Amino acid sequence: MNLHEYQARELLRRAGIPVPPGEVATTPAAAKAVAERLGTGKVVIKAQVHAGGRGKAGGVKLADTPEQVADIAAKILGMKIKGLTVEKVLVAPAAQIVSEAYVGVIVDRESQSPVMMVSPAGGIDIEEVAAKTPEKIFRARVDARYGLLPHQAMALAFHLYTDLALVRQASDILQKLYRAFVDAGGSLAEINPLVVTPENEVVALDAKLVVDDNELERRPDIEALRDVSAENPFEAQAREANLTYIKLDGNVGCVVNGAGLAMATMDLVKYYGGEPANFLDIGGSSNPEKVVTALRIITADPNVKAILFNIFGGITRCDDVANGIVAATQQFTVRVPIVIRLTGTNEEAAVRILEGIGMKAGTDMDEAVMRAVAVAKGGAAA
Amino acid sequence: MSIFVDKGTKLVVQGITGRDGSFHTKQMLAYGTTVVAGVTPGKGGQRFESTVPIFNTVAEAVEATGADASVIYVPAKFAADAVFEAADSGVRLVVCISEGVPVLDMTRVMRYLQEKNVRLVGPNCPGLISPGQAKVGIIPGRICAAGPVGVVSRSGTLTYEVVYQLTRAGIGQTTCVGIGGDPIIGTNFIDCLAAFQADPATKAIVMIGEIGGTDEQNAAAYVKEKVRKPVVGFIAGQTAPPGRRMGHAGAIISGSSGTAAEKIAAFEDAGVTVMKRPADVVPLVKERL
């Protein structure tokens, strides 16, 4: 789960990291009021959306007066950045910057450890730095049992600054960032840029925090930060039903059990000349209700011209899936043809259930995919 | 022959009285796996299905029964501690089926296991099966048959699909290992490739990967250098968009790395024969046996 910048800033502030003041606003008038509270001087208005490249998209602007803040906020609020509508802006004083650095921590798959990274080349996309000037990134592998050790933090800080006062401040920030990362159940935490002010203070100007979805069950305080309005509504609906749904641009709707098989099914749709409309994994357990929700979500996508079920029954029982399809057709009109492939646990019962409502089911994956692609193209009946 | 589990494996089930644990223990017993003990804290002294003795701790179970492998079916939030407990008990193999284990938990687990002589398979995996000998986990026994092919995969149901196609075509397996779809897992492709290379009964290897990370690329480099048996590979997720987690926590393309194209190129470079679709497994393996 992604947190908004203003939420991440608040978590870092609570961890003791120096973060400039600033508040979030949802209307131009509220943004103006924040600017008035902040007092004199330049302020920055930043779109709060789960997308990178906000600056380039025009979602980050400077203003000199509260009136200007209101005007700019009016332009940014409602703006679309990478398909996401901006619902909130952060209003903060524009810091005076002597230098910009990058600091971050990720869970590294290769070393199976958290890795703390710093770079004196801050303020820009760190992936770009990694690609173009990898020698400007410094890393420390963390033993997760002990956390980031003070000497590791100090060594990293010496790669950023030479002035000992700055090194000590940065080292302290790195240790606090690591703790905030662990406390939030993060898979990534970044401060970019970490800046030095004319007063020789090191402060976090921006903050990014991505939380491991598997941590949310035991961290209700973090789960409460979820901004449903910033998500695709169907993906949110799927998540509540314990389904994984990702919308794509094609016209063959896919309902599959298991993530690997779901990806392989999408690939096979493409292999036979079609385009998948979505990734959808109904998961391991087979509650007929899940199938109903899955069909509701897929039929709401106007691009979908055919729906393909690909079920390999193990823990998932084919008869449960069949009952779900029957229940869905009783609850609402499924306006597109359904092609069903199922095999495995309780396959025979499933076939009987489907025959009861005049539907057929095959057992071969390739045949089903080919038929679904043909149906979506309008060339065949289901 | 087989890898990691065989007829002699003596299994302890952690979470044996839970919903998943009890269901799959019955399946494992029905398959012929030697389940010597179960563990559920507070139920020590009872018996599962009036046969398998239940203990309060894994250490007690190992002490009393000589169990040498454990399988974990506990809720995700208790899974890391269950792995620590198994590792401390002296078993040589731990298979963690639990799904949804926080990745930071796994960073601690993996550091801890480095100091122990134990192999972890998973988490978030279907486990493994050596057909005709033992099944540890949840892979349906009836889709497998004994034979000469080693199968290793990051997926669950996609593995079933491929294994079932092999079995229906009369091609059996030495062992099928589902290593799990999480970013941090105990046993990776290379561990399984090395074991299959060393297993005289395995004549060909099927490797099923997916988008995300670099495990398949590392595996390809290993095949090139060390594996002298034919390897047939598949990568799921060619149509997956970047930046989106495709169900599995580990299946995510970040930036330009972890794509299916990158992995397929690595396979081809290493001489791994790449399947274009799951059904290709049958002719490609047949040709190479």
Task: Give bridge partners of residue B206 from the DSSP assignment.
Answer: B151, B232
Sheet hosting strand A252-256, strand order edge to edge:
A244-247, A278-281, A252-256, A306-313, A338-344
Check for a shared fold between B11-121 and B139-288: yes
Considering A5, A6, A100, A190, which one is annotated as catalytic?
Answer: A190
Residue A231 neighbours by CB under 8 Å, 6+ apart? none
Quick one: CATH architecture of A21-93? 2-Layer Sandwich (3.30)
> Between the CA of residue B78 and those of A107, A181, B73, B82, B84, what are the distances in Å?
20, 21, 10, 6, 10
- What is the C-alpha to C-alpha distance for residues A91 and A37, in angstroms, rounded to an integer? 10
Domain boundaries of chain B, sorted by first residue:
11-121, 139-288
> Between the CA of residue B247 and those of A143, A169, A280, A318, B139, what are the distances in Å?
28, 40, 8, 21, 19
CB contact under 8 A, A113 and B111: yes
Q: How far is A13 from chain B (nearest CA, A)?
A: 22
pLDDT at A41: 85
Residue of B nearest to A256 (CA): B157
pLDDT at A95: 85
Chain B contact set for A314 (CB, 8 A): 126, 138-140, 156-157, 160
CB contact under 8 A, B214 and A110: yes
pLDDT at A143: 96
pLDDT at A285: 66
- What is the C-alpha to C-alpha distance for residues A116 and A293, in angstroms, rounded to an integer? 41
Q: What is the ipTM of this complex?
A: 0.93
Q: How far is A241 from chain B (nearest CA, A)?
A: 14
CB contact under 8 A, A344 and B244: no
Check for a shared fold between A21-93 and A233-376: no
CB contact under 8 A, B138 and A144: no
Closest residue by Cα to residue B154 from B76, B219, B248, B221: B248
Burial of A139: CB neighbours in 10 Å, binned 0-12, 13-18, 19+: middle
Closest residue by Cα to residue B279 from B174, B164, B126: B164
**Which of the following CATH numbers is that of domain B139-288: 3.40.50.261, 3.90.1300.10, 1.10.20.60, 3.30.43.10?**
3.40.50.261
Asked if A38 contacts A24 with a C-beta cutoff of 8 angstroms, the reply is no
Domain boundaries of chain A, sorted by first residue:
21-93, 99-223, 233-376
CB atoms within 10 A of CB A33: 17
Active site annotation includes A102: yes
Q: What is the pLDDT of residues B163-192, one digit of tens each?
A: 999 999 999 999 999 999 999 999 999 999
A-proximal residues of B, 188-217, CB under 8 Å:
208, 210-211, 213-215
Nearest-5° Cα angle at B194, B191 to B195 = 85
Quick one: CATH architecture of A99-223? 2-Layer Sandwich (3.30)
Chain B contact set for A182 (CB, 8 A): 104
DSSP A179-197: HHHHHTTEEEEEEEEEEE-
CB contact under 8 A, A266 and B143: no
pLDDT at B25 over 70: yes
Considering B24, B135, B154, B248, which one is annotated as catalytic?
Answer: B248
- What is the C-alpha to C-alpha distance for residues A200 and A182, in angstroms, rounded to an integer? 29
Nearest-5° Cα angle at B254, B253 to B258 = 50
User: How far, rounded to the nearest angstrom, does the alpha carbon of residue B248 sit from its chain's CA centroid?
Assistant: 15
- What is the C-alpha to C-alpha distance for residues B73 and B17, in angstroms, rounded to an integer? 10
Chain B contact set for A263 (CB, 8 A): 158, 210-211, 236-237, 239-240, 246-247, 251
Q: Report chain B's mean pLDDT, rounded to a whole number.
A: 95
A-proximal residues of B, 158-187, CB under 8 Å:
158-161, 164, 181, 183-184
CB contact under 8 A, A212 and B104: yes
Task: Provide the residue-wise pLDDT of chain A in tens; the chain has 382 residues.
Answer: 999 999 999 999 999 999 999 999 999 999 999 999 998 789 999 999 887 778 888 999 999 999 999 999 999 999 988 778 899 999 999 988 999 999 999 999 999 999 999 999 988 777 788 888 889 999 999 999 999 999 999 999 999 999 999 999 999 999 999 999 999 999 999 999 999 999 999 999 999 999 999 999 999 999 999 988 777 788 888 988 889 999 999 999 999 999 999 999 999 999 999 999 999 999 876 688 899 999 999 999 999 999 999 999 887 889 999 999 999 999 998 889 999 999 988 899 999 999 999 999 999 999 999 999 999 998 666 5
CB contact under 8 A, B211 and A263: yes
Looking at the partner chain, which of A144, A269, A344 has a beta carbon nearest the beta carbon of B111? A144
CB atoms within 10 A of CB B86: 30
The CA-to-CA distance between both ends of chain B, in Å, stands at 17
Question: Residue for token digits 């076939």?
Answer: A351
Q: Please tell me the number of Cα atoms within 13 Å of A112 on its side-chain side.
A: 18
DSSP A225-242: T--GGGS-HHHHHHHHTT
Residue A182 neighbours by CB under 8 Å, 6+ apart? A114, A147, B104
Q: Tell me: domain A233-376, CATH 3.40.50.261, correct?
A: yes
Asked if A112 contacts B106 with a C-beta cutoff of 8 angstroms, the reply is yes
CB contact under 8 A, A214 and B103: yes
Structure tokens at B231: 């390897």
Pairing of strands B134-137, B127-130: antiparallel
Q: Which of A109, A126, A309 to mutate to test the interface with B (most CBs of B within 10 A)?
A: A109
Q: What is the 3-state secondary structure (H, E, C) of A1-68?
A: CECCHHHHHHHHHHCCCCCCCCEEECCHHHHHHHHHHHCCCCEEEEECCCCCCCCCCCCEEEECCHHH
Chain A contact set for B246 (CB, 8 A): 244, 246, 259, 262-263, 279
Residue of A nearest to B240 (CA): A263
Residue of A nearest to B24 (CA): A315
Structure tokens at A190: 């970044």
Burial of B78: CB neighbours in 10 Å, binned 0-12, 13-18, 19+: middle
Nearest-5° Cα angle at B141, B137 to B143 = 125
What is the C-alpha R_g of chain A? 26
Decide if B100 touches A, using CB distance below 8 A: yes
Q: What is the pLDDT of residues B129-171, one digit of tens each?
A: 999 999 999 999 999 999 999 999 999 999 999 999 999 999 9
CB contact under 8 A, A263 and B241: no
pLDDT at B160: 95
CB contact under 8 A, B107 and A112: yes
Q: Which of A222, A267, A285 to mutate to test the interface with B (most CBs of B within 10 A)?
A: A267
Q: Please tell me the number of Cα atoms within 13 Å of A65 on its side-chain side.
A: 3
- What is the C-alpha to C-alpha distance for residues A216 and A213, in angstroms, rounded to an integer? 6
Structure tokens at A379: 């060339």
Residue B112 neighbours by CB under 8 Å, 6+ apart? A145, B84, B87
Three-state SS at B115: coil
pLDDT at B82 over 70: yes
Looking at the partner chain, which of B111, B143, B255 has a beta carbon nearest the beta carbon of A143? B111
pLDDT at B223 over 80: yes
What does the pLDDT average to over B15-19?
A: 94
pLDDT at A239: 87
Quick one: CATH architecture of B11-121? 3-Layer(aba) Sandwich (3.40)
